[in-house]
Amino acid sequence: MSTIRNEVLYRLYFVMAMLVISAVFIFAKAVKISVMEGEYWREKATDKYVQFRRIEADRGNILSSNGSLLATSLPYFDVAFDPNSSGMLESDFNKNIDSLAYCLATFVDPTYTPGAYRDFLIQKRQEGAQYVPIKRNVTFEQMKLVRQFPLFNLGQFKGGLIVMPKFRRERPFGLLAHRTIGYVRDGIAPVGLEGHYNELLAGEDGQQLMMRVGEDMWKPIEDLAKIEPTSGKDILTTIDIDIQDVTEEALYRAVDRHRAQYGVAIVMEVETGAIRAISNIGRTPEGNLWETYNYAIGSATEPGSTFKLAAILALLETGHVALDDSIDIEQGQTMFYNEKMVDAYPHKLDSTSVQHIFEMSSNVGMSKLVQRYFGDTHKEDEFIDYLKQFNLNLKTGIEIDGEAAPFIKEANDTKNGWSGTTLPWMSTGYEVMLTPLQILNFYNAVANDGTLMKPYLVSETREYGNTLERFPPTVIKRKIASSRSIEKAQFLLQQVVENGTAKKLKTDKYNFAGKTGTAQVNYKRLTDRTHVGGYQASFVGYFPAEKPKYSCIVVISEPREFGIYGGEVALPVFREIADQIFATKLDLQAPINAVKPEPLVKNQLPDFNIGDRKEMEYLLKNFGLPYVSTEDSPLALLRAESDTLSLLPYTVSKKRIPSVVGMGLRDALYVLENLGLRVEISSGCGRVIQQSIKPGTPVRGQTVYLRLG
């Protein structure tokens, strides 16, 4: 029995000992938390309900070349009410609550009646609420109105008004240059100028101490430690609104008409490299047209025949090729090893000149020329060196992230697929990869007499309208080729328009130069044929040809209707853009007084005009027409003799009807009505060409009918 009792006591002592140990442990932990770690945990508790929150900075503007807004941040506000604000007096609340409820129900939230809004606000005050949402995304004008409401006009602490500013990015011109302007969004890689200049545009966010008053609701607390945000800087782009608009409209219509996969158009200023317009129109999976991707900069493809300018320039640089040299083009087809090369258009020419090869864009002729002068194993690298001399192996360095690198094979590099057919195919724009901008920059250098410029989109940064930093045009290379070769290349590009593949769309209003291009895309070379998945049509050139101001490239990928060739798909877009630029840019128009006019001869001068002498003298002087006046008289007869004008006296008999043929209507009426004659106008306008009564007839108060013309 005693043994059982002892065992129970032992167990009881053990339990008691464990309880004492636990109590000591809990007490020690409580002392540690409250004394040793007290400050840390108090701060943690405070941080959960009171913390510094970010105040969004006003993002800088993106401006066009003339200062128009391409992208800007408009302020919006979230408005709330603290019915238990620390500075609010009970008397102020009771005095203004009816008027406040009426204003809110009338101008902010008409789903409430004034009475219901009043009861709602009183209930929230009684519940001790500190944050009552009023309206989100309020405009600046609406916010100014809300600030004038009763009670709210007392301010944040006395009136309980809480206004939280934020900004929304807006584009006044809609989708104009959408992809080039770009965007910055959470979780997505930055795009365009917004992305590249994000740090500059973003400014610096501020901080303000705020109290948590609900799920994701924070009420600002007045605090001296508040850090005001710093607004972002502005960037002035080279984009010309007028040219950009023309370019996008022309490209959109072409992509839509030809049911193409996408289209690209770029306009660059020849002398500076400034991008005046850049447009990308792509087709979404649903078939809609949208600027889905910046193909102009980010997509490198085989350019096709527009690359022939690089091939011919390399040939000219050797000094062994003349434009009147003859080459056998074998009626448009030849073989390189086991591969057949054919011309795009069928013809029966056996041989022709180098110039005509370029004009007609003969694949056979160009590839045979390149193979003749560079086909030797020891000379293939010379052709590649010339392409590097033209900078075709390097990026342009445009200030937009994502520029695709060009692909130019190294000679005899079998790892990259170099073979015996690479050189002839490369000469016609295959087995090389370039973006539209890289091709355009090469043509721009040719137009610029060989000077290669860096394409750029931003000319300066600004703050509050003041210039912070300017970015002048940058010369990449003074000469990509000799002046002799450049002049011949310019001549060939003009001849393409005069006599070659672009002849159908030349205009007598101005001269332009350029090259058409048609490339196969998504093709597979099979043993017996080549399977072609589609075509890429392009045209690249510049205008005016004599003194180039703008260069332009148009690329239409995979057109499905109304043609596939560069001359019928891309060239019309180039012409439309060039026509519109010529119509709107006065600096492209030649002044009418630039050349001293040749003296006018008799058949070009006014003759046998009768009218008031003083008015005639006034007009002759203002038009700069020299004349001889014999004597003074109220009326004068203007006669042309050889290249001289004479003002002769003209007298009117008071007894005989005079001739008024050649007079203006006002002078004819003056002469006839002063003789007591009635005048009727039978038809026409302008000067008198016929009168009903013959001159010399006695005056007897008749009615004279005049015909004008």
Rounded to the nearest 10°, the torsion over CA 580, 583, 585, 589 is 130
Q: 480: Cβ–Cβ under 8 A, 6 or more apart, which residues? A: 389, 390, 391, 442, 445, 446, 450, 451, 452, 486
Measured distance CA(181)–CA(195) in Å, rounded: 9
- CATH of the domain spanning 602-708: 3.30.10.20
Q: How confident is the model at residue 570 (pLDDT cuts 50, 70, 90)?
A: very high
Backbone angles phi, psi at 356, to 5 degrees: -70, -30
Measured distance CA(48)–CA(41) in Å, rounded: 11
- What's 52-236's CATH class? alpha beta
Each residue of 645-692: pLDDT tens digit?
Answer: 777 787 788 888 888 888 888 888 888 888 888 988 887 888 888 889
Helix 380-389 with 308-318: angle, nearest 10 deg: 110
Looking at residue 529, its pLDDT comes to 61
Q: 139-143, 254-258, 367-371, 513-517: which range is least confident on average?
A: 139-143
Half-sphere exposure of 405 (CA within 13 A, CB side): 4
243-588 and 602-708 agree in CATH topology: no
Measured distance CA(76)–CA(166) in Å, rounded: 5
Question: Distances in Å between the alpha carbon of 651 and those of 355, 612, 692?
Answer: 70, 12, 20
Measured distance CA(379)–CA(385) in Å, rounded: 10
Q: Please, are residues 114 and 203 in contact by the beta-carbon 8 Å criterion?
A: no
- CATH of the domain spanning 243-588: 3.40.710.10
Q: 86-100, 109-123, 403-417, 644-658: which range is least confident on average?
A: 644-658
Q: What is the number of other CB atoms lying within 10 angstroms of the CB of residue 516?
A: 28
Q: Check whether 386 has a pLDDT greater than 90.
A: yes
Each residue of 196-231: pLDDT tens digit?
Answer: 998 998 888 777 666 666 556 666 666 555 677 788
Q: Please, are residues 138 and 76 in contact by the beta-carbon 8 Å criterion?
A: yes
Q: Please, are residues 650 and 663 in contact by the beta-carbon 8 Å criterion?
A: no
Domain map (residue ranges) of the chain: 2-36, 52-236, 243-588, 602-708
Q: Is the peptide bond before 544 cis (omega within 30 degrees of 0)?
A: yes
Q: What is the number of other CB atoms lying within 10 angstroms of the CB of residue 114?
A: 16
DSSP secondary structure letter of residue 496: H
